[in-house]
Amino acid sequence: MDIWTYQSVEYVSVAGEAWLASASEYPSSMRALWEARPWVPAVLPCGRVFDVISLPAVFGRRVLDELWASGPGCGPVATFRGRTLLFAQPGTAARLRTLLAWEEWARDVPPLLCHGIGDAVTVPPVQRAVDAADSAAGRWIVAPDTREPWLPGASVLLWACVRAARGRPARESGDPRPNTR
């Protein structure tokens, strides 16, 4: 099954919804909004529960493929307005931004938008309407499904970005730690 083209209705599980809502200052209000209108995108703050790395769509697909190929996979991933939103550990945005600017071998990586403390992102609806023909609201590629999803850290994302930019799998890139956080 190709997670990029599978045409199903994407749902965020109840536990995943609770995890997403916990990022809000008012989780109960966020859950009430989703209960009343589950097909509406929401804006959530970054930095406390998760950071979000926004990648160009095609590059984001390559990075996600790298994360799955080299293990251990990834946590929630969404698309919104032509970009791939990869949810990461809190603190990843600042660290990844610094690593990409500092490391000379990261020069092949296209510019990433790193959202951390003080930023907010629009997340896709927790449930996509069955008749939704347009994807303006975005969609979940990997929907949140637990209260504590595994989120990659800066080093995992850095190596995945470098491998994706160079077009080489983990075993050929010289990365001695493809499964580390």
Percent of the chain scored above 90 by pLDDT?
Answer: 61
Q: Which residue has the higher pLDDT, 163 or 177?
A: 163
Give the position of tokens 């927790």. Answer: 126
Provide CB contacts within 8 A for 179, sequence distance 6+.
70, 71, 72
Question: Is there a contact between 86 and 52 (Cβ–Cβ < 8 Å)?
Answer: yes
pLDDT tens, 22-35?
999 999 999 999 99
Beta-bridge mates of residue 45: 120
- What is the band of 11 on the pLDDT scale with cuts at 50, 70, 90? confident
Q: Which residue has the higher pLDDT, 127 or 45?
A: 45
- What is the band of 60 on the pLDDT scale with cuts at 50, 70, 90? very high
Question: How high is the pLDDT of residue 86?
Answer: 97
- What is the band of 105 on the pLDDT scale with cuts at 50, 70, 90? low
For the cut 90, the answer to whether the pLDDT of residue 140 exceeds it is: yes
pLDDT tens, 77-104?
999 999 999 999 999 999 998 888 876 7
Q: What pairing do the DSSP bridges indicate for beta strands 113-115 and 51-56?
A: antiparallel
Q: Please state the domain extents for the chain.
A: 14-168
Distance from C-alpha of 131 to C-alpha of 168, rounded to nearest angstrom: 39
SS3 10: coil
Amino acid at 119: D
**Nearest-5° Cα angle at 8, 7 to 13:** 145
Distance from C-alpha of 91 to C-alpha of 14, rounded to nearest angstrom: 26
**Of 90-94, 103-107, 145-149, which range is least confident?**
103-107
SS3 43: strand
Question: How high is the pLDDT of residue 15?
Answer: 94
**Helix, strand, coil content of the chain in percent (nearest 5):** 35, 20, 45
